[in-house]
Amino acid sequence: MEAYKKTIEEVQMETAVDSQQGLASKEVIRRQKVDGVNKFDEAKGDSALKKFFHSLSDFTTIILLVAAAISFYTAIATDHGDYFEGILIIAIVIINAVLAIVQEGNAEKSLAALQDMNKQSSAVLRAGKVEVIDAEEVVVGDVLVLESGSMITADARLIQASQLRVEESALTGESEPVEKNPEYISKENLPLGDQANMVFKGCTVANGRGRAIVTAIGMRTEMGKIAGLLNNDEQQKTPLQKRLNQLGKRISLIALGAAALVFLIGQQQGEPLLDMFMTAVSLAVAAVPETLTVIVTLTLAFGVQKMAKKHAIIRRLPAVETLGTANVICSDKTGTLTQNKMRVRRVWTRGDEVTDTEDAMTDEAMEVLKMASLCTDVIVDKEGDDLVVKGNPTEVAIVRAVEENYHTKAELEEKYPRIGEIPFDSERKMMTTVHKMGKKYISITKGAFDVLLTHFRFGDLEQAAVVNDRFGKRALRVIAVGYAIYDEEPKEITSEGLERNLRLLGLIGMIDPPRPESKGAIARAKKAGIKTVMITGDHVITAGAIARELGILHDKSEALTGSELQKMTDEELDSRVKSLSVYARVTPEDKIRIVKSWQRTGAVVAMTGDGVNDAPALKASDVGCAMGITGTDVAQGAADMILTDDNFATIVDAVAQGRAVYRNIRKAINFLLSCNISEIFIVLIAMLLGWGAPFTAVQLLFVNVVADGLPGFALGKEPAEKGIMDENPIPRNEGIFARGLWQKVGMNASVFTVITLFGFYLGANVDGISHWIDASYEVGQTLAFLILAYSSILHVFNVRSTQSIFKVKLSSNKSLFEMAVLAILITTTIALLPFTQELFGLVPIGINHWMLAIGLSIVPIFVNEMIKFHYAPEEEE
C-alpha cells in the first residue's frame, strides 16, 4: 500500500522510527548499508571513442582531413614517398581531438567538483537533535525538518505541518504551490498532485513549516522513477564561444577561397598541378585557427576556477562573460552588505523607557525580549561554552539577548507551550505564535513597526512612532512586539483571527553592522562604472542610515519605499530608476520590477537573493547571485552564481575576474588571428608575385600548433591587469572585435606579412648575405619559417598588456614565459638538426641569415611599442 494511504502511526511503525527523536546514528548506518545512498543513478556519458569521432566532424577538422588526403595523394602521385606531411596533419587532428576530449573531461570534472561544493543538504531530526546533513545521507525513516525555502530531499509522509505549501511543478507541472495537510487520508488511488499528506523529492517548500517521515529515497522516489527523463546533459557553450566557433568557420572559408584562387593563378602561370595542390593544402591548414577553441575554453575554465577560489561559484558558464559587462549590482542588505551579526542594542517598553543594552537590562525590557523570543524558530545549541543560535538573523539577535541575560528559550517554551503559528515571510514582514499560558492563551506577534501599526489597538502608539524614527536614524532595525490574551483556545490560526486588536508591548532596536570590506567594494565598483543599489526589506530610515555609511546613498531623494514603488507606473520608474539607490520595505515582487526597469535602460544587472520568492528576480536578472550560506535551495537553483561567503565584495571581485577573462580571450584572438591571417596574405602575395610558396604545409602546421599553440595556452592564465576596474563596463551588445581589435589584428598581420616576405625574398634571391650559403628558394623558405615562428612567439608579449612590454613583469605569468622559451627552443632545434631539417623542408643557413631572421622577428615588437606609446592610456588590449 502506498504511503499516502496510511495513517501517521502506520508509517511510523513501518519505518520503525520515533517521530519525536528521529533515528539513532547506529540505525542510520545500518539502513545506509541496506538501502544505499539517496541519489539518482548517474547517466552514462558518451564513450571516449564516440566523443573522438564526434570531434572529427568539426568543420576545421574536415578541412585538415581533406588536406591530408590530398597530401597523401600527391606523395603517391609524385612517387617522392614523402608521407610526413600527411602523417603530421593526421597526427595534429588526433592530438586536437584528444586535447578536446581531455579538456572536456577536465571541465566536466571541475564542474562536478563545483557541484560537490554546492551539494544539497537536508535538515533532519536524529537522536533528538535537528542536524543538517548531506542530502545523500538521508535514509528511510529519517524525520525531515521542513522550512520555507528548503528543498525536499526524499519522498516523505507528513506528520506535522503549519501553513505548509509546497511547489511541486517539477513533478506535476502545477506551478501554484499546493497546500499540505498531515491529517488528510484517502484509500482511493490519487495522482501525486492530490496526495496532500505527502511531500516529494525535488520539490520545494514555498511557505510554512513541517515535519515528515521519509518513505522512499533515491531511485525509488517519484522523481527517481522519472529521473532518466530529467537528465539534462546539454553542453553549456557561452555566446562568445559560439560566436568564435562561427568565426573559425568563416576564416576557414576565406582560406578555402584563397586556396582556390591560388590554384587558379598557378594554373594560369603554368605551374605543375601537383605543386598547386600542395600550396592549396598549405593555405587551407594555414588559416585554420587550430588552437583557438581550446584556448578560449581553457581561459573560461581558468576564470571559473579563480572565481571559485574567491568564493564565487559559477553555475552557468555564460555568466562569466556577462559578469564582465555588468553595470548595476542590486544587493540585499542583511548579511550581504552587512555582517549578518544582528545584535539587540535598545529596547523600548511601555514605560517610555529606552534601555541601552550595554547597561543592565530592566525587567520590563526583559519581558519584551522574552515574549519576542517565544515567537521565533531559531535553533539554540551549545558548542563547548559558546552559544550557537541558528536561524533568521532578526530572531537570532532576540534569542541571543535573552540567553545572554540568563534565561533560556527552552525554559520559556516549557512554560508557554506553542500551539499554533503563522510563520514569518518577507511579504507580510510579521509573525505570530499562539501559546498556552496557564488556563488562558496568548498570541504574540512581532514584526516591522510600520507594518504592524494598523494591527495595534492598545498602547502608546504615538510615542512608539517617535522612538521608531529615532532608532531608525541610528541604523537600528526596529521590531515591534504585541500580544493578545484569550480565555478560550483560538480556533482560527489566521491573520484575520489573530493579528488584530493587539496590545503593544515594546520595541526592540537591533543593529547589523556593515561588513568592513563593503564600503571599499562599493567604491571600487563605482570607479569601474558600476552602480550599487541596495534593496532591503528594512525600514527606509534604517536602510538609508546604513546606505549613507556605505557610500551608496548621498541624498534622501535617492531612497524609495516599496509602497511608493507600487504606486509608480513602469514609465515613471524607468525615468527615475537611474537616480535611485535604496529601495526599502520592498517585497520580492518589487525586485523583478526594479531589475526589468534597469534592463529597459540598457543596463546589465547582477542581483542577489536568498529567499524562495527571490528566485524569479534572480532568473530575470542578467547575473543572479544566490547566497551560499543563508540562501535557500530554490534561490541557489535559480542563480547563475553562488556566493559561498554571502559577501557583497565577492560580487565585485567576480566582476573583475569576468572582465579579465573577456580581455584574455581578446588577447588570444589578437595573438592567434594576427598570425593566421598573415599566413594567408604571405602565401597569396608570394603566389601573385610569382615567387612560389614561401612555406610548406608542414611548416605552417608547426607555426600554428607549436609557435602559436604553446604560448597561447598560457595566455588564459594572464592575471587581471591593474587598471581593469578603472574603466567603464563593456556595453551590452558590443562585439568581441570592437574597440579596435580588428584593426590591431590587421595591423599585426600586415607587419608579419611584410617582414616574412622580405626575409623570404632576401633568402631566395640575394647572394652574399652569408659567405658560404648562396641564395636559394629553400634558404628563402627557411628564413620565412624562422621569421614567422619567432615573431609569432614574441607577439604573445605584445598582446599581454596595453602597457609597454618592459613595464609588465615576466614573473606575473611564469608559464607564459616558460612556454614562449620552450617554443623558441623547439623552433631553433628543428632548424639546426639535420634530421628535423629534412622532415620540415628546411636547409642549413649562415650566421648572417640567423641574425637577419632574428632582427626581422623583433620588428613587430618595435611597431607595437610605438603604437602603445601613443595610444596606450585610452586603449585596452
Catalytic residue list contains 332: yes
Angle of helix 540-550 versus helix 461-473 axis, rounded to 10:
10
Q: Which stretch binds ligand ATP (CB under 6 A): 176-184, 421-429, 724-732, 842-850?
A: 421-429
Cα 672 to Cα 679: distance, rounded to the nearest angstrom = 11
Least spacing, CB of residue 312 vs ligand ATP, in Å: 19
Q: How far apart are CA 473 and CA 458, in angstroms?
A: 25
Q: How far apart are CA 485 and CA 26, in angstroms?
A: 46
Query: Min. distance of Cβ 636 from ligand ATP in angstroms?
Result: 16
* Site string (287-326) toward ligand ATP, x via CB under 6 A: ----------------------------------------
The backbone torsions φ and ψ at residue 521, rounded to the nearest 5 degrees and listed phi first, read: -65, -40
Asked whether 695 and 687 are in contact (CB, 8 A), the reply is no
Cα of 356 vs its chain's centroid, Å: 43
- Which has the closest alpha carbon to 676: 780, 740, 735, 746? 746
Residue 456 binding ligand ATP, by CB under 6 A = no
Confirm or reject binding of residue 346 to ligand ATP (CB under 6 A).
no
530-549: contacts with ligand ATP (CB under 6 A)? 536-538
Per CB under 6 A, the segment of 77-85, 265-273, 391-399, 833-841 that binds ligand ATP is 391-399
- The contact mask relative to ligand ATP for 458-497 (x = CB under 6 A, - = no) is -------------------x-x------------------
Task: Tell me if 408 contacts ligand ATP by CB under 6 A.
Answer: no
DSSP per residue, 552-589: S--SGGGEEEHHHHHHS-HHHHHHHGGG--EEES--HH
- Asked if residue 447 binds ligand ATP (CB under 6 A), the reply is yes
User: Strands 143-146 and 121-126, how do they pair?
Assistant: antiparallel
Looking at 162, 172, 392, 408, which residue binds ligand ATP (CB under 6 A)? 392
In 10 A of CB 604, how many CB atoms?
21
Candidate ranges 154-162, 250-258, 328-336, 863-871; the one touching ligand ATP (CB under 6 A): 328-336
* CA 413, chain centre distance (Å): 43
Catalytic residue among 58, 142, 155, 332: 332
Region of residue 438 (left: phi > 0; alpha: psi -120 to 50; beta: else): left
Q: Is 149 among the residues that bind ligand ATP (CB under 6 A)?
A: no
In whole angstroms, the minimum distance from the beta carbon of 416 to ligand ATP comes to: 17
Return the residues of window 425-444 that contact ligand ATP according to CB under 6 A.
Answer: 426, 429-431
Distance from the Cα of residue 761 to its chain's centroid: 52
- Site string (84-113) toward ligand ATP, x via CB under 6 A: ------------------------------
Strands (E), 520-664: 531-535, 559-561, 582-584, 605-609, 623-627, 641-643
Quick one: 493 or 861, whose CB is closer to ligand ATP? 493
How far apart are alpha carbons 189 and 1 in whole angstroms? 10
CA distances from 511 to 93, 194, 401, 465, 549 (A): 63, 45, 13, 18, 13
Nearer to ligand ATP, 528 or 534 (CB): 534
Min dist. Cβ of residue 392 to ligand ATP (A)? 4
Verify binding: residue 409, ligand ATP, rule CB under 6 A: no
180 vs 333, beta carbon nearer ligand ATP: 333
- Contact flag: residue 28 with ligand ATP (CB under 6 A): no
- Rounded to whole angstroms, the Cα distance separating 104 from 321 reads 19
Closest contact distance (angstroms) between CB of 147 and ligand ATP is 12
Show contacts with ligand ATP in window 815-854 (CB under 6 A).
Answer: none
Q: Which is nearer to ligand ATP, 139 or 397 (CB)?
A: 397
Pairing of strands 641-643, 312-314: antiparallel
Return the number of the residue (6 or 591) whose C-beta is nearest ligand ATP: 591
* Contact (Cβ atoms closer than 8 angstroms) between residue 149 and residue 120: no
Contacts of 222 (CB under 8 A, 6+ apart): 155, 171, 192, 200, 201, 216
Exposure of 611 by Cβ count < 10 A (0-12 exposed, 13-18 middle, 19+ buried)? buried
d(CA 104, CA 115): 16
To the nearest whole angstrom, how small is the minimum distance from the Cβ of residue 448 to ligand ATP? 3
Q: DSSP 3-state assignment of 343?
A: strand
- Angle at the Cα of 432 from the Cα atoms of 426 and 437, rounded to 5 degrees: 160
- Select from 157, 333, 346, 515 the one that contacts ligand ATP (CB under 6 A): 333
Smallest CA-to-CA distance from 796 within 876, 699, 735, 713 is with 713
- Output the nine-digit C-alpha cell for 518: 563593503
Nearer to ligand ATP, 167 or 499 (CB): 499
630: amino acid identity, one letter: T
What's the closest the beta carbon of residue 478 comes to ligand ATP, in angstroms? 7
Q: Judged by CB under 6 A, does residue 502 bind ligand ATP?
A: no
Decide: is 627 part of the binding site for ligand ATP (CB under 6 A): no
Can residue 515 be called a binding residue for ligand ATP (CB under 6 A)? no
Considering the complex, state which of residue 335 and residue 712 has its C-beta at the smaller distance from ligand ATP. 335
Nearer to ligand ATP, 424 or 760 (CB): 424
Question: Which residue is associated with the grid cell 534569542?
Answer: 399
**Quick one: which segment of 68-76, 423-431, 728-736, 772-780 binds ligand ATP (CB under 6 A)?**
423-431
- Least separation, in Å, of the C-beta of 210 and ligand ATP? 18
Lookup result for grid cell 540598457: 602
Q: Is 741 in the site for ligand ATP (CB under 6 A)?
A: no
Q: Per CB under 6 A, does 630 bind ligand ATP?
A: no
Least spacing, CB of residue 535 vs ligand ATP, in Å: 6
Q: Which residues pair with 624 in a beta bridge?
A: 607
Q: How far is the CB of 335 from ligand ATP (least distance, A)?
A: 6
> Is 399 near ligand ATP (CB under 6 A)?
no
Q: Is residue 39 part of the contact set for ligand ATP (CB under 6 A)?
A: no
Q: Which three cell numbers stand for residue 436?
A: 498556552
Q: Which is nearer to ligand ATP, 338 or 791 (CB)?
A: 338
State which of residues 291, 334, 597, 613 lies at the interface with ligand ATP (CB under 6 A). Answer: 334
Three-class DSSP category at 506:
strand
Would you say 70 and 89 are in contact if contact means Cβ atoms under 8 Å apart? no
Q: State how far the Cα of 327 lies from the Cα of 244, in Å rounded to an integer.
A: 24
Nearest to 70 by CA among 274, 374, 259, 270: 274
Of 178 and 508, which has the nearer Cβ to ligand ATP?
A: 508
CA dihedral 560, 561, 567, 572 (to 10 degrees): 20
Q: Would you count residue 394 as binding ligand ATP (CB under 6 A)? A: yes
User: Smallest distance, Å, CB 865 to ligand ATP?
Assistant: 51
Q: Is 614 in the site for ligand ATP (CB under 6 A)?
A: no
Residue nearer to ligand ATP on the CB measure, 426 or 836: 426
425 versus 721: smaller Cβ distance to ligand ATP: 425
Going from the C-alpha of 319 to that of each of 237, 596, 641, the distances in angstroms are 11, 18, 7
Determine the residue with CB nearest ligand ATP. Answer: 537
Stretch that binds ligand ATP, among 446-454, 552-560, 691-699, 796-804 (CB under 6 A): 446-454
Min dist. Cβ of residue 518 to ligand ATP (A):
13
Does 710 interact with ligand ATP (rule: CB under 6 A)? no
Residue 341 C-beta: closest distance to ligand ATP, Å: 13
Quick check: 614 and 591 in contact, CB under 8 A? yes
Instruction: Give the span between the Cα atoms of 370 and 409, in whole angstroms.
Output: 8
* Interacting residue ranges for ligand ATP, rule: CB under 6 A: 332-334, 392, 394-395, 424, 426, 429-431, 446-448, 477, 479, 536-538
Residues with catalytic annotation?
Answer: 332
